[in-house]
Structure 1
Amino acid sequence: MPDQPQEPRRTPLSRDRVLRAAVAFADAAGIDALSMRRLAQELGVVPMALYKHVANKEELLDGMVEVVFAGIEGQVPGSDWKGAVRGRILGARATLLAHTWAAQVIRSRTSPTPAVLAYLDSVIGMFRAGGLSTDLTHHVMHALGSRVLGFTEELFDNPAGASGAPQDDRAQAAAYEAMARQYPHVTELARSVAHDRRSVVGQGCDDRFEFEFALDLLLDGFGRLHGEGWTSTP
């Protein structure tokens, strides 16, 4: 009797496979399209099979952040503290640019995941290894804010308020002229520059130049305060 053809063996479902599939899905379709049912379809399983590995969608999202942050490059050997911190933060930024949904998910969390905590611990350790006091490092981390994670939160996506304006040039110009009569300085600033929309994390002015410009200003300022022996107490 001829041998019966065997069905190909399925790759066993695991937490790591579930999380990596969710990351790939969000990269391709966006985080808003992700659901437990859609993810189960992608993996070729019933939705209940996912709950053996993640308790709910919130745990799934936390796990996805863990996967993303685990891929951030580490410290460059031999760097001084400023170069080490800069490289680490720009590594985080590059990772978030590869997973544009991640910043939105991070902002939605009420507390950092273990991988994010480990990342923050490594950055704090770089400042401390550079000789910055715990007092200065505390205020440094506050000053960096979300930038330490590789993204910034702008006040508004379009400071001139033109996001809802018509897109043709004449209508846009008319909208700016009307805006300029009431808010001349805001409009002058908004019209003077063109931001690179291809390199943003989310929306707004968070392009590479703006991000590195602000980061370098902060790092230089931290270095000056460190050199002066700054302390928050009189």
Structure 2
Amino acid sequence: MTQQLDTSRRTPLNRGRVLEAAVALADGAGLEALSMRRLAEDLGVVPMALYKHVANKDELLDGMVDVIVDEIAPAVPGADWKQSVRQRVLSARQALLRHPWARQVLESRTTRTPAVLGYMDEFIGMFLAGGFSVDLTHHVMHALGSRMWGFTQELFDDAGTHRAEAEAQPEVQAAMLQEMGRRYPNILEVAMAARHDNGSVVSHGCDDQFEFEFALDLLLDGFDRLHCRGWTSAAAKRASG
């Protein structure tokens, strides 16, 4: 352990090492554990040494996002637009699954780094290269939203509900479901239908990966139909006279 720490201290500190260590710290201990002091301890340096490479914690978080963006696989050469978009979105999702804290950081960023802008530019470029008009591509990007980064807000995010049920006695669980059915019958019917067998998913609830790909494919198929129809928005038609 001492030899490993000595080796770490002898390795010159640079921005890349700082960002990689920050990502590893967030992966292992959670985003709430990330601080400049804790990061410096992990790197075996004094906190002030970090500020030569990142100006503050916001810049550190921006850099950590860049690390995640760099993990997203590039578009497949020669693939059609739909295959390229699908592959990039699912690659982005895999990156976020490897780093559970990344979604929170992505949603909190108010500035866009060159790496983030580059990813967005390449993403838009896949539609334009596929023959999409600028008008259709604009609306496609709105429809995809955060899905281009591999995540979306889930309607049936019921982990807290299942945790409460698991901690309750059977008779309390039954009463909870009965009251839910009385007050919100449609929600309960659909939510209960999503409870898969234990062998199909880890724990109870929806298969998040399936649901994500299901919605992504619906969107891509819809974009394809609009593209083939030569769809133009009403605003674009008015602008063109």
TM > 0.5 fold call: yes
Structure 1 pair 206/41, CA: closer, same or farther in 2 (3 Å)?
farther
**Does structure 1 conserve the Cα–Cα contact (< 8 Å) formed by 2:96 and 2:150?**
yes
Distance 1:174 1:18 in 2: 52
In the alignment, the residues of structure 1 paired with residue 97 and residue 143 of structure 2 have an alpha-carbon distance, to the nearest angstrom, of: 22
Larger helix fraction of residues: 2
2:161 is aligned with what amino acid?
Answer: A
- AA in 2 matched with 1:84: S
Structure 1 letter corresponding to 2:164 = A
1:177 aligns with 2:178: yes
Displacement after TM superposition at 1:105 (Å): 0.3
Name the structure 1 match of 2:72.
72
Aligned match of 2:148: 148
Which residue of the partner structure matches residue 3 of structure 2? none
C-alpha spacing 1:207/1:139, structure 2 compared with 1 (3 Å) = same
**1:164/1:178 Cα in 2 relative to 1: closer, same or farther (>3 Å)?**
farther
In structure 2, the partner of 1:216 is: 217
Aligned-partner Cα distance in 2 for 1:92–1:115: 14
Gaps of 5+ in 2: 1-5
Identity of aligned residues (%): 65
Alignment partner, residue 165 of structure 1:
164
| DSSP 3-state at the match of 1:75 | coil
SS in 1 for 2:212: helix
8 Å CA contact retained: 1:36, 1:47: yes
Counterpart contact for 2:194–2:206, Cα < 8 Å: no
Matches within 5 A, 1:114-133: 114-133=114-133
Alignment of 1:93-132 (within 5 A): 93-132=93-132
Q: Deviations over 1:155-200 (max 9, x none)?
A: 46229x836734247233321111110100001111111377759x
Q: What is the TM-score with the length of structure 2 in the denominator?
A: 0.85
Q: Which residue of 2 aligns with 1:4?
A: none
Alignment size in residue pairs: 223
Distance 1:214 1:138 in 2: 19
Q: How many angstroms apart in 1 are the aligned matches of 2:207 and 2:108?
A: 19
Root mean square deviation of aligned Cα: 2.3
In 2: Cα distance, 1:114 partner to 1:172 partner: 50
Residue aligning to 1:231: 232
Distance (whole Å) between structure 2 residues aligned to residue 49 and residue 13 of structure 1: 8
SS of alignment partner, residue 154 of structure 1: coil
Q: 1:131 to 1:206 in 2, by over 3 A?
A: farther
Give the alignment's TM-score, normalised by structure 1.
0.88
Inter-CA distance 165–78: structure 2 relative to 1 (3 Å threshold): same
Q: Structure 1 residues 49 and 190 mapped into 2: Cα distance closer, same or farther (>3 Å)?
A: same
Q: Which runs of 5+ in 1 are unaligned?
A: 1-6
